[in-house]
Structure 1
Amino acid sequence: MYPNSKPFGGITVVFGGDFRQILPVTPKAGRPEIVGAALNNSPLWEHCQVFLLWRNMPLQSGNTDEQNRLIRDFSEWQLKVGDGKVDPISRKDHISEVLFRLPTQHVLNSVDTPIQDLIDVVYEDFSNNISNPQYFSSRAILTPTNVVVDDINYAILDKLPGETHTFYNQDSLEEQGLEENDFDESFPIEYLNSLNIPCIPKHELKLKIGTPVMLMRNLNQINGLCNGTRMMVTGCKKNSIECEITCGSHVGTKHLIPRIEMIPTETPWPFDFKRTQFPLQLCFAMTINKSQGQSLDIVGLFLPRPVFCHG
């Protein structure tokens, strides 16, 4: 086959992913649409050569035989979940609603206050570590949706001492031309402020000195200000927020984070709008997807709803 007739002109392209864990995000789609959007259903798949990663790198060898046994058992259980070989405790009509029981050693039994009990376990000895950046950068609570993330973040924020600083954004519709004036008036600023989109900050941002935050945009990659960088708030000013990086190769460096303009893409609304806000979000808790690429020592999972959308 000539290079011109090959996909991508014969250039080597690497596709990475694990179809057992994370499938494409398809808004308002069911299981057939989500599975159909996966890479292995693409016409390009027949031209791909598959390389399998067989060693679980995050699960390194322990210091004792007992630790090695626990690591090996957990790794084998993970693979069984991905392969669908875990014995179900109930099975509903739809395959995506199979329920199975988690190992008891990984479950925190709580009836009345599950969120607070999980916070107490993940953020143990909280009051004595509120000024320790490494304490917050090494742990987090993960959950599937942003709604639950906000509830957990503000519950922990209330436990921090100090004054709460509230920053509001500025929303505006993108220019549509003079003929769109009547259309623009149909969407007041109050309505734009109420819109919450995962890729941009919310209308109201509450912070305290010592709060761990995560950067939501690439501001200066050379200085370590990248999307996903975890930082600690060290100062709250009127038009900027001073933060200290707590992870990566630029640990300990301080930077002033300004408000920036952000325009969301692929929204369900029939208009484009612009939001000016600090590109920061609290990261006591974060979504499971947002946690990819993060290095954490202590992780708590809060799963109030089924988390496996595809089986």
Structure 2
Amino acid sequence: MIDRRCFEALDKTLKDILNEPTQSFGGKSVLLGGDFRQTLPVKPKASKRDIIESSIVESSVWSHFKVCKLSKNMRLLQPNLSTKEKEEIAAFSSWLLQIGDGRVGVDDEDDPTDTKWVEILEKYLIPDHEDALKDLVRFIYDEDIFHNPTATMFCDKAIVYPKNETADEINNLILCNLPGKPIIYLSFDSIIPHTNDRGDTKVLYPSEYLNLLNFSGFPTHRLQLKVGIPIMLLRNMNQMEGLCNGTRMIITQLLPRLIQAEVITGVQIGHKVYIPRITLNHTDKELPFVFKRKQFPVRVCYAMTINKSQGQSLNKIGIYLPHPIFSHGQLYVALSRATSAAGLKILIKRQEDQPSNCTKNIVFSNFLAKLESAQAVDMELLLH
């Protein structure tokens, strides 16, 4: 997901530091891990061409990498598996790869090159009705996890969705049914006007308006929390303590100026940490000011975006699709978080002119084909 210019900057820096101008990365070995079926670099309002051009594959340093592929399904090597279980695991894995490669589904009339409508098997679906979202929540989180939450209960469960705007719908539904009175933390919002505004900006944008603003990766103005609920960190704070962007935790104590929490993901599982309020800045060329919000850099995470879930393996995952996915690899990322078919459920809100069991899958097939072709040529050169 990293922009190619980051790798190019690292390449130039290592060449300068190690005084090895002709050696890639100064002669140091660099290992990259990833899967191009998953989401590519995120660029707001970018075209397909812009996104692909930001990929490491389009960089001058890519030709110096050797591509290694995983070829064994390790889940099939688990002991004591029956023949039926092995067949189910193999079938599920094969289906996931077909989704990732865009080899299943019916072409979308508006974008037949990259978009297909995929039929989801009935065994993975939660029927869409008035209380369907509650059914999805109950599949992932049972009553015991709400009343006696522990790190081990939350670390392998989550609900994922495409857009941030869906988060409040799910989290508020769950919070309302939890015991105990919530504690509400309000942010302090301010702006730094751009130059030559003659002071008009602060008059035009009062604090009441600023409180309504929400941006990706930002906590909300009104943060409603309870002891025992899971939260996600939205900023890198202390990597040595495991406090990185995306780290999930359970709240153990709520104080006026601090949140005490227990880490439930990464290498620091079970470790207690303290989260302070910090000032977060948002710069947008379309805004006439720099936006500042002082708030705890967390959000409730019974549910998370598909992009945030990337890299995690979950025994139970619910995929909520009130709207279709909107970028390359998102559906594959969501489905492949599941460690088994039994732990996967999908709730699809019916789209106009589409069956209730169909959802959109976007795959840049030409990009993947070009990648496969380049790798095939490399392998031939190695053989010769």
Provide TM-score, normalisation by structure 1.
0.86
2:51 to 20, 29, 34: 34
Shift of 1:109: 2.1
Distance 1:226 1:44, change over 3 A: closer
The one-letter code matched in structure 1 to 2:301 is C
SS of structure 1 residue aligned to 2:274: strand
- Take 1:26 and 1:237, find their aligned partners in 2: how far apart are those partners? 37
**Does the 8 A contact of 1:152 with 1:284 survive in 2?**
yes
Residue correspondence of structure 1 range 58-73 to structure 2 within 5 A: 61=78, 63-65=80-82, 66-73=84-91
Shift of 1:127: 4.9
1:81 to 88, 95, 99: 99
Which residue is 1:283 aligned to? 301
- Take 1:255 and 1:220, find their aligned partners in 2: how far apart are those partners? 10
> Do structure 1's residue 225 and structure 2's residue 243 form an aligned pair?
yes
1:25 to 39, 42, 48: 42
> Do structure 1's residue 108 and structure 2's residue 131 form an aligned pair?
no
Distance 1:73 1:308, change over 3 A: farther
* CA deviations over 1:207-250 (Å, ceiling 9, x no partner): 11211112222333333333322221122222222222334444
> Do structure 1's residue 171 and structure 2's residue 189 form an aligned pair?
yes
The one-letter code matched in structure 1 to 2:57 is N
* CA deviations over 1:55-96 (Å, ceiling 9, x no partner): 45677636422222211111111111122221x245313133
Which residue is 2:158 aligned to? 140
The count of corresponding residues between Structure 1 and Structure 2 is 308
SS of structure 1 residue aligned to 2:185: strand
- Take 2:65 and 2:229, find their aligned partners in 1: how far apart are those partners? 45
Which residue is 2:167 aligned to? 149
Which residue is 2:381 aligned to? none
- Take 1:135 and 1:154, find their aligned partners in 2: how far apart are those partners? 20
Shift of 1:150: 1.8
Q: RMSD of the alignment, in Å? A: 2.8
Q: Which segments of 5 or more consecutive residues in structure 1 lack a partner in the other structure?
A: none
SS of structure 2 residue aligned to 1:217: coil
The one-letter code matched in structure 2 to 1:296 is L
The one-letter code matched in structure 2 to 1:244 is E
Q: Which segments of 5 or more consecutive residues in structure 2 lack a partner in the other structure?
A: 1-18, 329-362, 364-384
- Take 1:197 and 1:96, find their aligned partners in 2: how far apart are those partners? 28
The one-letter code matched in structure 1 to 2:323 is R
Distance 1:248 1:175, change over 3 A: same
The one-letter code matched in structure 1 to 2:36 is F
SS of structure 2 residue aligned to 1:105: helix
1:51 to 49, 68, 80: 68
**Does the 8 A contact of 1:62 with 1:71 survive in 2?**
no
2:138 to 120, 128, 142: 120
Which stretch of the first structure deviates more once superposed, 207-216 or 58-67?
A: 58-67
SS of structure 1 residue aligned to 2:292: strand
Distance 1:253 1:22, change over 3 A: closer
SS of structure 2 residue aligned to 1:289: helix
The structure where helix makes up a greater share of residues is: 2
Which residue is 1:235 aligned to? 253
Distance 1:35 1:178, change over 3 A: closer
Provide TM-score, normalisation by structure 2.
0.71
- Take 2:124 and 2:180, find their aligned partners in 1: how far apart are those partners? 34
Distance 1:275 1:63, change over 3 A: farther
**Does the 8 A contact of 2:145 with 2:153 survive in 1?**
no
* CA deviations over 1:27-51 (Å, ceiling 9, x no partner): 1234343334333233443444323
Shift of 1:20: 2.0
SS of structure 2 residue aligned to 1:272: strand
Residue correspondence of structure 1 range 245-260 to structure 2 within 5 A: 245-260=263-278
SS of structure 2 residue aligned to 1:222: helix
- Take 1:139 and 1:28, find their aligned partners in 2: how far apart are those partners? 31
